[in-house]
Every structure is written in structure tokens, then in C-alpha cells.
Amino acid sequence: MKTMKIKKTAGERFFDGFNIAFLFLFTLLMLYPIIYVFAISLSSAQAVDQGGFFLWPRDFSLDAYKVVFSEPNMGRSYLNTVFYAFTNTFLGMAFTSMLAYALSVQDYVLKKPITVMLTITMFISGGLIPGYLLNKALHLIDTVWVMIIPGISAYNVVLYRTFFQGNAMQLREAAMIDGAGEFRIYLRIVTPLSIAIYATLGLFSLVGNWNGWFGAMIYLRREELFPYQLLLRRILDSITTTLQRANQGDDEYLRQAMKNSRYNARNIQMAAIFIGMAPILCVYPFVQKYFVKGVFVGSIKG
């Protein structure tokens, strides 16, 4: 069977060409910071001092990566970050989606008071000091639990509830007639039909947990519990302090700076940043198709 080719007008061809060119330039604009960071991380300290980078390393060198990987707690902190980020994200998605499922049920008795309490938290935050005092009272300070026990975002609960009401709750009554309980309905019906919202909010949560360092700085004291981002901050602060004291004429710091003269704080920073962002760049392609669908959930049904 022959397929008929639809001949496009000159205006349609111009519009298609404009879209392709615009998206190509937009893609380059988004990729440029990543390529720029990677180029500096693979350049020598002298080349970084000279500047003038565009899209390619100058005076290729792996010294910056050697500095980052030579940190004694590097491996442990990286594993800590993986554990904290994925565990916190998984638990947060589970608790938030279960609460949203309960609020999606029309005849749920506590639906209104819980919704009111969640709405209040969207306008009034407890703050840093009450949060610290609560974790201290629960004896969570300087433990892994303080990093993996998630908080429930009222905004995410609303998004989950909106998605559940628009896609899966129509099947709830039929499932209950067949003898399914609420938990089974949640696991076997609601969850498989809501992969898009799980992938979208899960990716946002994962990125936030992966890049987070402030909570670890407040709640953790032992270095063996530090995430990668907090260790990175310590490395950069140490290098910056060494260079500043050396410039002020401090003999000890001057000797240390001369010993590490082939290193530059900027390319070490870029190497550490690229190491930190690499896992997220690898995860995103696998959830991209769900992400595109899930980001429009708020515009489908209120």
C-alpha cells in the first residue's frame, strides 16, 4: 500500500526549520555549562589561571581528579550520599503517596482536617531551630536517621492526589467489589497507573537530596557520616584558606601551596562538581519519558 506524501507549503517548511534551529541552539545553551565545567576540570592549573575556555580542555591534566579522589573519606562520603539520597527519596515517595491516596478517597472521614493541616504548613514553616530541637529530642543528631527520615511536602501531596483522582480512583470501586483492600488497591492499581508522577517527583526529590549539604552541616558531626557535598565544601574551604594564608606570607601555608602549585582551586571545584553531577545525568534519560508527562499533572485536573 502506497502512502501519500503531504506537500508542505513554504511557510510550513520555514516554521519547521525555525523550530529545529531554535531547539538546536537551546540544547547547546543548556549543554554549555556542563561542557564548560568538564573542560576546566580536565585542564592544568596554569591553563585555568590564564582563562579563555570555551568547549575544550587546555593543557590536558587529571590532577584535579587526583586531588578529589585522594581525599581519605572520598569513597565513604560518596556512598553516604547515594544511601541518603535514594533512601530518603524512596521513603518520601512512599509516605507522601500513601497520604495522598487516603485524601483521594471521597468518603475518608479525616480528609478535611488533614487537608487543612497540610494547607497550613504551605504558608507557615516550623523553621530551623524547632526542627533541630525536635531531632535532638528524638536523639537523631549525628545519626544516619536524621538524613534518611523524610519530611512530607504538602505541595507534593496535592500533586499526588490530583494525579490519583484523574487516573486511578475510577477503578477503586470495581476493585473493592472484587474483594481488594485499600492497601492492595494502592499497590496493585494506583501505583502502576501513576508511574509518571512517581518518576517526576522522585527525580526532583533525588536531585534535591543529592545536592543537599546544609542539613548535613547542621545535624552531623562525625566525618564518616558526611555526604559528598559536605566533604566537597571542606576540600574547597581548605584549598581557599591555604592560598589566602600563603598570599599573606604565612611560611607554613606558603610551603604547602608551593608543594601543590600544580593544583588550582577552580579546576578542583569543577572536577568535584562534575563527579557529583554525573550520577544524576545518568539517571535522567531513564525517567525522561515519564518526566515530560508528569510535569503537566497540575494543568490536567485541579
Predicted pLDDT of residue 171: 79
HEC states along 40-107?
HHCECHHHHHHCCCCCCCCCECCHHHHHHHCCCCHHHHHHHHHHHHHHHHHHHHHHHHHHHHHHHCCC
Question: Cell for 188?
Answer: 496493585
Q: Which of 78, 9, 59 is nearest to 226 (CA)?
A: 78
Four-CA torsion 32, 33, 35, 38, nearest 10 degrees? 170
Q: Give the pTM.
A: 0.76
Q: Which amino acid appears at position 152 of this protein? A: I
Low-confidence residues of the chain, pLDDT below 50? 1, 253-255, 257-262, 298, 300-302
Q: Are the C-beta atoms of 22 and 240 separated by less than 8 Å? A: no
- Residue 132: other Cβ atoms inside 10 A: 14
At 259 the pLDDT is 47
Where is 257: in which H helix or E strand? helix 251-259
Question: What's residue 240's pLDDT?
Answer: 67
pLDDT for position 124: 82
- In this prediction, residue 54 carries a pLDDT of 63
- Name, in order, each residue with C-beta under 8 angstroms of 43's C-beta and a sequence gap of 6 or more: 53, 57, 58, 59, 60, 61, 267
Q: How many CB atoms lie within 10 A of CB 194?
A: 23
DSSP string, 105-157: STT-TTHHHHHHHHHHHHH----HHHHHHHHHHTT-TTSTHHHHSPPPPHHHH
pLDDT of residue 188: 86
What per-residue confidence (pLDDT) applies to 258? 43
Residue 62 CA to residue 43 CA, distance in Å, equals 7
- Cα–Cα dist 293/204, whole Å: 14
Under 8 Å CB-to-CB from 146, ≥6 apart: which residues?
A: 135, 140, 215, 219, 220
Q: Which residues contact 191 (CB under 8 A, 6 or more apart)?
A: 97, 198
pLDDT of res. 4 = 58
Report the amino acid identity of residue 191.
T
